[in-house]
A and B are shown apart, each in its own frame.
Chain A
């Protein structure tokens, strides 16, 4: 019986749509506040492969510079540091959220209603994310 269930599981997986090796969800990018030249980006990156993924760089045509940052609050002190890479474990995910790891998008250029983010691992492109602003994206 146990074998049968396992087999069924395998069949279901085999019949489903092929999973992309890397996927993103819960993307949210804040609009720069009036007079400010930066936005924050929050999202979940999921690695469906059996190998850890190192995201070493992010670029956007709409921003001069994109950095991976982490905010920590320890002993009542808020600190923000740039991270050299974002490690997404094998068959795991990493969450970029308020008060934690996040993307810092700096110096917008011709910013319209959408943002494209290109994630790299070394020199290899990993994935591209297209995001359209909604009315809720005022910085908050």
Chain B
């Protein structure tokens, strides 16, 4: 084999392996495009909060189902209802696609001063059946948010009229009650419909 033929042979070999590589990539299961799956799952930190019925719950409330967890407040007229509506629409679309296992939608209040269980209940029920609302003392809420890397901060205001800055991410908690993945937003229905089956797999 002369040097020229050798170069052609090497080029062919490279092209062939590139082709095989592309074929393998194409056949591999699609990876989530919007969701970030954590390299290792982490247990939800211990906490004691109230659900929307005023019942005490702890970290075990996250066990037994997939949860989509958003942190917000009911006096937020814009981002919070929009995000919850996106999650509700995605869940509906997944059901229509024939998916049996559907995630639960959870709103954790970052404004316990105004978000009583009753107010939170009316709010989460507005976005569908089976949703969970969590509120309680600021200290217990911080145990949960702190352990999950969620930020929130009440802003100065006039009496009852104030806003709360908060992380905009939606966290995915697996049926073992472990922080599994997250959607950092902007939250779009199609992203959830495409990625959630990949994230949840067969579970």
A interface residues with partner B (beta carbon < 8 Å):
30, 33-36, 38-40, 69, 71, 73, 76-81, 98-99, 102, 104, 106, 139-140
Contacts and interface: CB of A to CB of B under 8 A. Distances in A.
Residue with the highest number of chain B CB atoms closer than 10 Å, among A35, A78, A79, A102: A78
Contacts of B139: none
B101 to A, nearest CB: 25
B163 A81 contact: yes
10 closest A-B pairs (Cβ-Cβ)? A35-B122, A40-B77, A78-B168, A80-B163, A140-B85, A79-B165, A78-B79, A71-B78, A34-B122, A73-B168
30 contacts: A30-B81, A33-B81, A33-B122, A33-B126, A34-B122, A34-B126, A35-B118, A36-B75, A36-B123, A38-B75, A40-B78, A71-B78, A71-B79, A77-B151, A77-B165, A77-B166, A77-B167, A78-B166, A78-B167, A78-B168, A79-B163, A80-B78, A80-B163, A98-B78, A98-B82, A99-B78, A99-B79, A99-B186, A102-B77, A104-B77
Given A38-B77, A78-B79, A140-B82, 18 more contacts: A30-B77, A34-B122, A34-B126, A35-B118, A35-B119, A36-B75, A36-B123, A39-B77, A71-B79, A76-B168, A78-B72, A80-B76, A81-B155, A98-B78, A99-B79, A104-B78, A139-B81, A140-B85
